[in-house]
Amino acid sequence: MRRIAICNQKGGVGKTATAVNLSVGLSLAEKQVLLVDIDPQSNATSGLGIDYRSLEISVYDCLFEPALLEQAIIKTKWPCLSLLPSTPDLAGAEIELVEKENREARLRELLTVLSDKYEFIIIDCPPSLGLLTINGLVASNSVIIPIQCEYYALEGLEKLLKTLKAIKNGLNDNLVIEGILLTMFDARLNLAKDVVDDIQKRFPKAVFRTVIPRSVRVAEAPSYGKSVIHYEISSTGAQAYLNLTRELLNHA
Ligand SMILES: Nc1ncnc2c1ncn2[C@@H]1O[C@H](COP(=O)(O)OP(=O)(O)O)[C@@H](O)[C@H]1O
Ligand SMILES: [Mg+2]
């Protein structure tokens, strides 16, 4: 089972878009996929058309009561794709976990029982480096770092890389960087091209070849409760996420 965290403490860089669309791409390749939403904003949950207000059990409850896991997982209307949803309650976990035993590894322990059920677990992290994100990283074997092609793109990256190193050295020695993913690329802007060149030069081995373009369809899809792949498969955004899926499946 490959467990992949989608992580960047910056908000609005395309984490959730990547988590949702990569999960859907993998499910279309007939991989059994579980998307785990650990962001209290619940955007991955609503992005798959689930209204968190209708939920009685979510990942929040499972972190404190692991026996609820099976009940909390939702089979989506699409084949091979399940969701462990989040609700805004999860914001409280950031504080409530502090006093708990094994606070950094709660999610990992929760998910171990699923190892023969899913081939991929994709974890959508919140925009911070708090305990929820640490739980996401400790529960994963690899991490995808979405970076927006803009002027401040690399801001915060050093801190994130330091955090990843600390986690690798202390809590999860299996953790590797699956790749840096360049998102919201606008080919009309010289600046965006400069950012891409700069990052590719700095991290020649770590950057995915697939670059996700800025695409109105990617932004519209969540309001229909769908991935952009289901919403408009011919759009540049959908095609890019399918290419990313292919590239990921080709990683050893
Ligand atoms: N490739 C893209 N093109 C256009 N809009 C995008 C793209 N990726 C994400 N968005 C939009 O940008 C906003 C932030 O993206 P999101 O995936 O929610 O970021 P994060 O999870 O990192 O906060 C959302 O409104 C989303 O719909
Ligand atoms: Mg998000």
What residue spans define the domains of the chain? 2-250
Residue pLDDT, tens place only, 100-142: 999 999 999 999 999 899 999 999 999 999 999 999 999 999 9
pLDDT the model gives residue 203: 93
42's torsion region: left (phi>0), alpha (psi -120 to 50) or beta?
Answer: left
pLDDT the model gives residue 10: 95
Residue 13 in tokens:
């860089």
pLDDT the model gives residue 21: 98
Contacts of 126 (CB under 8 A, 6+ apart): 38, 39, 40, 41, 132, 133
Ligand 1 pocket at CB < 6 A: 11-17, 43, 127, 183-184, 212, 214-215, 218-219, 222, 237
d(CA 34, CA 118): 7
Q: Which pTM was predicted? A: 0.98
> In angstroms, what is the span from residue 82 Cα to ligand 1's centroid?
21
pLDDT class of 233 with cuts at 50, 70, 90? very high
Mutate to test the pocket of ligand 1, among 214, 216, 217 (most ligand atoms within 8 A of CB): 214
Rg of the chain in Å (alpha carbons) = 17
Mutate to test the pocket of ligand 1, among 6, 7, 8, 15 (most ligand atoms within 8 A of CB): 15
pLDDT the model gives residue 78: 98
pLDDT surpasses 80 at 252: no
> In angstroms, what is the span from residue 25 Cα to ligand 2's centroid?
18
Task: Give the pairing type, strands 81-84 and 33-37.
Answer: parallel
Angle at 214 between CA 19 and CA 44, to 5 degrees: 25
Architecture of domain 2-250: 3-Layer(aba) Sandwich (3.40)
pLDDT the model gives residue 181: 98
pLDDT the model gives residue 60: 98
pLDDT the model gives residue 152: 85
